[in-house]
Amino acid sequence: MTTWDAETYGSRWSQIYDGLPWPGPDDAVSFLAKLAQGGEALELAIGTGRIAIPLVERGIEVHGIDSSPEMIAKLREKEGGERIPVTEGDISSFTVDRTYRLAFLVLNTIYALQDQEQQLACFASAAAAVEPGGHFVVEAFMPDPTRFRRNSWMQVHDMGLDHVLIEADKHDPSTQQILEQHLHFSQNGVKLYPAFLRYVWPSEMDLMARLCGMRLVERYGGWNGEPFNARSGNVVSVFRRDEA
């Protein structure tokens, strides 16, 4: 495999996605529900509904976009998931026939867009989908190039009598790309789960937003409003679309 695309994402990850140790959704859901202020929300890369379904349970109407039919199918299998309107499409370039009070893109998914042009196009599409005065929220890990030695990194995530989970990464600082490969070894063989990422510095996000008619209004180190500083491992950015 030399490229990362929607087919790779859905076909490789959809069967294991809900079993991965993601953080619980409650803090993110509370944050987003408060920001939506009872209005309707659009989730970019809605996936299997980790955030969308509990947000609907809070009384927020949520629509979604996702590039993977496999992920959308997993969402449809869940209670409440079948009632969420979802469009199969590319989050880097989409249009909607209405506007929303809130749009959001969480869990590092902005990094799944492979270059700056795609990421900027995503910001532009989100800005067009948000009503004037509405918000676009982006959550991602804080880039840390210092963890790489000679632009590579490897870690054992889990190990048992009959399995081992290893992550191997290759870093290109000139393009801000991280090529991840998650290797699952077991008695049944080896399975590979790739994730090709292009990370974005917070200041770079701010410039993308400004180019698209939005501006940063809040930035936190987590969903509970933790201060964002040099020690933050996560970054939650809230952008507001200009009123005019």
Answer whether residue 96 is part of any domain: yes
What is the phi-psi region of residue 183: left when phi exceeds 0, alpha when psi lies from -120 to 50, beta otherwise?
A: beta
Domain extent at residue 188: 145-196
First to last CA, the chain: 45
Answer whether residue 1 is part of any domain: no
Same domain, 118 and 220: yes
Same domain, 206 and 224: yes
Distance CA 44, CA 93 (A): 11
- The whole-model pTM stands at 0.94
Backbone angles phi, psi at 72, to 5 degrees: -60, -40
Same domain, 67 and 175: no
Summarised one tens digit per residue, pLDDT across range 66-98 is: 999 999 999 999 999 999 999 999 999 999 999
Same domain, 157 and 226: no
Tens-digit pLDDT profile for the chain (244 aa)? 456 666 677 778 888 888 888 889 999 999 999 999 999 999 999 999 999 999 999 999 999 999 999 999 999 999 999 999 999 999 999 999 999 999 999 999 999 999 999 999 999 999 999 999 999 999 999 999 999 999 999 999 999 999 999 999 999 999 999 999 999 999 999 999 999 999 999 999 999 999 999 999 999 999 999 999 999 999 999 999 998 6
Same domain, 101 and 62: yes
Same domain, 55 and 129: yes
Same domain, 97 and 183: no
Same domain, 136 and 60: yes
Same domain, 156 and 136: no
Fill in the amino acid letter for 133.
G
Domain count, the chain: 2
From residue 63, alpha-carbon distances to 40, 199, 201, 224 in Å are 8, 26, 28, 24
Same domain, 33 and 95: yes
Q: Mind giving me the DSSP string for 65-130?
A: EES-HHHHHHHHHSTTGGGS-EEE--TTS---SS-EEEEEE-TTGGGGS-SHHHHHHHHHHHHHHE
CATH number at residue 174: 2.20.25.570
CATH number at residue 113: 3.40.50.150
Strand pairing report for 86-88 and 41-44: unpaired
Same domain, 89 and 176: no
State both tokens at 92.
């880097």
Answer whether residue 149 is part of any domain: yes
Answer whether residue 159 is part of any domain: yes
Answer whether residue 41 is part of any domain: yes
User: Which residues, 6 or more positions from 190, have their beta carbon under 8 angstroms from its beta carbon?
Assistant: 183, 184
Same domain, 38 and 72: yes
